[in-house]
Amino acid sequence: MKVKRAAKAGFCFGVKRALDMAERTSETSHAVSLGPLIHNQQVVKRLAERGIQVVEDLDELTSQQALIIRSHGVAPKVYQGAENKGIQVVDATCPFVQKAQRLAAESAKKGQQVIVMGDKHHPEVQGILGWAGEQAIPIQTVEEAKQLPFYPHLAVLAQTTQLAENFAGIVNELKSHTDNLIVHNTICNATAERQKVARELAETVDVMVVVGGRNSANTRKLASICAERTKTYLIETADELESVWFKEANSAGLTAGASTPDWIIEEVFNKMTEMNEQEMDMATWFDSCPELHQGTKVTGTVVKITREEVFVDIGWKCEGVIPINELAVSRKTRPEDAVEIGDEISAVVIRVENEEGHTVLSKRKADEEGAKDRLEKIAETKEEIQAQVVEVVKGGLVVDVGLRGFVPASQIQPGYVENLDQFLGQTLRLRMIDYDPAKRKVVLSQKVILEEERAIKRTQLLETLKEGDVVAGTVRRMADFGVFVDIGGLDGLLHISDMAYTRLKHPSDMLKIGDEVEVQVLKLDQQTGKVSLGLKQLKESPWEKAAVNFSVGSIVNGKVVRITPFGAFVGLGEGVDGLVHISQLADHRVNKVEDVVKVGDMVSAKVIDCKPEEKRISLSIREAIAESTKEIDQEALASQSDIKPVTIGDAVGNDLPTETRE
């Protein structure tokens, strides 16, 4: 029977990241996790042996403990509760889950009814619901979706481990429950890829074995997918395997959930293989052993990985061992990043036998030998290659091209690169500019490729671009007078005066490097390639409505924004200032503007002239004061007119003698 292992199986990025963070935290702090860190009893047991305690409630914690948020994530109230208790939080939430939480919160804030597809009892779904607010609704099936009423605005997202086809069915149903459906596909790519690979493998074998925790949602989904195509068994450890399952099978497949560590997968794989293989005759085994000496190139299978070494089965009496410094081009490579258990690799013998009886090997030297011919050809043809950045060193980057390739900082990209660390782990497009195999010297450049492409794009753009065009671009550089925007191979100047109708002290008040903007081509010189761009031109000028908003004779309020010897400018709105001439500042002679107003003062003034076509408004504080005084006087006169005149009779009364009154 042939045993086939799925190419994508075991720990996903989020789970591996959470475990790494937990182990690092346990080395320096008394670490606890809120609920089991992952849905795998064996891994949780190992973590407990390292001192990582599992709690179910924040009340069980003290401020001396470090709280690890598992990859499933939690609701905002958990962070707040930890902060209130002074508890250190180590947030190991999977980045894919964090994205779902953020989208749920943003949708709720916009007034959209949030629908979360997933198991409402699963901690990931409960966490997302916490970010979406009390009105969010969890559903898992199309039938549940059919029961929903009509909503003006709907937003739907999914638990990251859900099946894509199930999510599509629910989305299709929700279209009839709203006029505005926003769909956030939050299903993890790694989950979808793992499910796809498992489905394809199950279609080619007689029996499938799925390894993982029975309480893990993604593991159960894998098992259900495989079971639709072939006989499938879900197990947690190798001890659960039964030989009778494979009695009539010609082939068997093996996959694992995202919470299953490599060592469990390897145990299951080995036991499945052993069930159908007989032990090799000892004499035959010795005859098949290779003859080893220093410099021999051997091929073997990775069977064990530790922090310092990688063990390789090379068919020798004892396993070969690769020290970490002989593993890869990068001196900082972690063993698990360079190889995986089950990988077939080539290595060179550098010591036939060490003190423990192991053959000491170098994978790095084997890789270098295999790379020389290829690099010589690349040096001749100048073809483009791709390589990953494995180290940041003084003056540039180290990339893995079989040898240690060096990319000087000046050759990474056009323009100055301030932070080299941002490229660590990235894959660069490179061309060899210097190669000396005797000195093991390989110098490469990405800049030459980017500049060639930029030149082509620049030529194409100049042929089609015209004044008035609206184009998208990215802010690349910044100066005091404006920013330079890359509009697709060509840098255009967006002057500070064309950024906004309001006055800006510096372009950084509005934009930052890396911002995506839509701009209008104001001026284009085909000969020099110089382009002037505008941003404010895409918006309505506030002066277009100035005549209506600031009509002559009206009283307006504003803040003094600038002072000159001849008057004060008052801000009346975005991009609109009015001038109060020094002669209009007060109802008395003013020798110095600062004697009456200063920047920041709020003032009332009368509009005495408005010329939008000249972008000019004249104001008068003096006339505003006069009008205010006039209104007060009129109100005083009006109040006096209501008083009845007093006669002598009213004053003296009716006590005078009759003859006197006559």
Residues with active-site annotation: 124
d(CA 570, CA 582): 13
CA distances from 281 to 65, 284, 548 (A): 56, 5, 101
d(CA 409, CA 430): 13
Contacts (Cβ under 8 Å, ≥6 apart) of 480: 496, 506, 507
The pair phi, psi for residue 73, each rounded to 5°, is: 85, 170
Contacts (Cβ under 8 Å, ≥6 apart) of 375: 401, 402, 403, 432, 435, 437, 442
Angle between helix 13-28 and 95-109 (nearest 10)? 100
d(CA 55, CA 40): 16
Contacts (Cβ under 8 Å, ≥6 apart) of 190: 8, 12, 13, 14, 96, 258
The pair phi, psi for residue 531, each rounded to 5°, is: -130, 130
H helix runs in 36-89, sequence order: 41-49, 76-84
DSSP secondary structure of 3-32: EEE-SS-S--HHHHHHHHHHHHHHHHSEEE
DSSP secondary structure of 484-534: EEESSS-EEEEEGGGT-SS--SSGGGT--TT-EEEEEEEEEETTTTEEEEE
33 token code pair: 């996790």
Single out the residue of 305, 205, 224 nearest to residue 265, CA to CA. Answer: 305
d(CA 435, CA 132): 56
Tokens 């939480």 locate to 101
CB atoms within 10 A of CB 633: 10
Helix (H, G, I), strand (E, B) or coil at 584: helix
Tokens 């042939």 locate to 2
DSSP secondary structure of 226-292: HHTTSEEEEESSGGG--GGGGTT-SEEEEEE-TT--HHHHHHHHHHHHHTT-PPPPHHHHHHHPPP-
Chain centroid to CA 48: how far?
32
Find out whether 84 and 61 touch, Cβ atoms under 8 Å: no
DSSP state, residue 70: P
Q: Is 403 left (phi over 0), alpha (psi -120 to 50) or beta?
A: beta
Determine the Cα angle at 646 with ends 645 and 650, to 5°: 145
At 162, the amino acid letter reads Q
Helix (H, G, I), strand (E, B) or coil at 590: coil
β-sheet with 88-91: strand ranges across: 53-55, 30-34, 65-69, 88-91
Contacts (Cβ under 8 Å, ≥6 apart) of 462: 490, 524, 526, 529
d(CA 516, CA 550): 35
d(CA 402, CA 364): 8
